[in-house]
Amino acid sequence: MAARDLRLDTSYRQIMAMALPISLAMLVPQVNFITNNIFLGGLGERELASAGITGVYYLIFAVAGSGLNNGLQALIARRAGQNLHHEIGEVFFHGIWVALGFAFLGIAITTFAAPPLLNSMIRDPLIAEEVISFLRIRIWGLPLLYLYVMRNALLVGTNQTRLLIWGTLAEALTNIALDYALIYGHWGFPALGFNGAAYASIVAEGVGLVVIYVIIHINGIHRDFSLFENIKWRMDMARTIVVRSAPLMAQFILSIATWEYFYLLIEHHGSQALAISNTMRNIFGVVGIFAWAFAATTNTMVSNIIGQGREAEVLPLVRKIMWVSVGFSTIMIMLLNINPGSYLAIYGQGPQFVEAALPVLRIVSMALWMMAVGTVWLNAVTGTGNTVVNLVIEIITLVIYIIYVYVVLEYLNLSIVWGWGSEWVYWISMFSMSVIYMLSGRWRGKKI
């Protein structure tokens, strides 16, 4: 049987065919996160506040996996653009072992280094105790998560995004059911309170992992790309994956680590400010799904088109994806702002909470538009294969970001409305440098 042609075109139909399944796959876990916070909000304001710190902390390691995923995705997409089927399975196999190595490093850091650091930075001792206890459990889901995101690199890199939804749907349904059972003690399960969410998430990640690899097997993808067949360990292949992915991992880790720093500064403004900021993180997750989906599409399509030798079509392609991203994000932002009070009320914190959160939500809404543009251009840089440039852009942006949040929240002690203005600073800086690099043409001729 003839091998399937993996080369992509640059049409709007191709863009939508890739991005919409990714969006749906991303929506499911975001609904999952919101459900987590609704259940935890039912325990009280402190628990909702603590969930903000634990959520962003775990996100640091989750996005490290995304960085590895993006680097692997670009490598797979480049070989897909060249129709090198036999090399895709080899890249995937080595990516899994590299991912497991990084996962156990994350477990070691959380077990030994994180507790004293968090104790020194969190002023409320009850929140500190709750956060550390939760993270020591939650971090054991990291190997499952890393193996799970490797399927993203394979399915997105080979243009099979429609299959993404099944694993995420299984994970979300499992997590919602176990949140209800383990946080409050229903269906004969013990009432574990805040830590119940940690156990629920680990089991859910395991279920999602099993389902997606069953789907890969049923669809014969393991045969198409010779996954795990007659593959020997190659240090040069592992080194290539690390070299391409490490700058992206560092970029994402630095980005979310500074967001954790932001949340720790927010904690100094009280538990309500921290709880409000946790709901804003959920808004970024749900409303931003299209921005991130079109960003992932940009990464894959740019790499695939370059692999075909069609470099002249890259910039027109990125502009196409950017405008579609802005259009979809605009719809989501409008839906959010039609009746934002109803959304904020689902966390069960009362009218004063809703009133305090509304001006923050307006600032975040504008930032989401900026993200819809900025993240597409940043992932265009990723797709060119020059991930060191991604890291440099991120470092410069984060220095500006850290200075802003420290001055506004700690030195001037302004409200969190001004603090969330940091998202404007972040995305404007990110967008500007990414566009300058892409327009410079310095990425042309880059081989990966």
**pLDDT of 211-223, one tens digit each?**
888 887 787 766 6
Instruction: Supply the angle between the helices 45-81 and 85-108 in degrees, to the nearest 10.
Output: 150
| Alpha-carbon torsion angle 133, 138, 142, 148, nearest 10 | -170
Residues 230-251, mean pLDDT to the nearest whole number: 79
Measured CA to CA, the distance from residue 202 to residue 283 in angstroms comes to 23
What's the per-residue H, E or C state across 39-76?
HHHCCCHHHHHHHHHHHHHHHHHHHHHHHHHHHHHHHH
| Alpha-carbon torsion angle 265, 268, 273, 274, nearest 10 | 60
Residues 103-114, mean pLDDT to the nearest whole number: 90
Task: State the distance between the two ends of the chain, measured CA to CA, in whole angstroms.
Answer: 29
∠ Cα 245 58 172 (to 5°): 100
Percent of the residues in the chain that have a pLDDT greater than 90, as a whole number: 27
Most confidently modeled of 175-189, 260-274, 341-355?
Answer: 175-189
Gyration radius of the chain's alpha carbons:
21
Measured CA to CA, the distance from residue 278 to residue 276 in angstroms comes to 5
31 — pLDDT class (breaks 50, 70, 90): low
**pLDDT of 378-432, one tens digit each?**
989 988 888 788 889 988 999 999 999 999 999 999 999 999 999 999 999 999 9
**pLDDT of 314-360, one tens digit each?**
999 999 999 999 999 999 899 888 888 888 888 777 888 889 999 99
Spatial neighbors of 289 by CB under 8 A, at least 6 apart, are 23, 26, 27, 30, 332
pLDDT at 2 over 50: no
What's the per-residue H, E or C state across 230-244?
CCCCCHHHHHHHHHH
> Would you say 410 and 268 are in contact if contact means Cβ atoms under 8 Å apart?
yes
Spatial neighbors of 48 by CB under 8 A, at least 6 apart, are 37, 40, 41, 275, 278, 347, 349
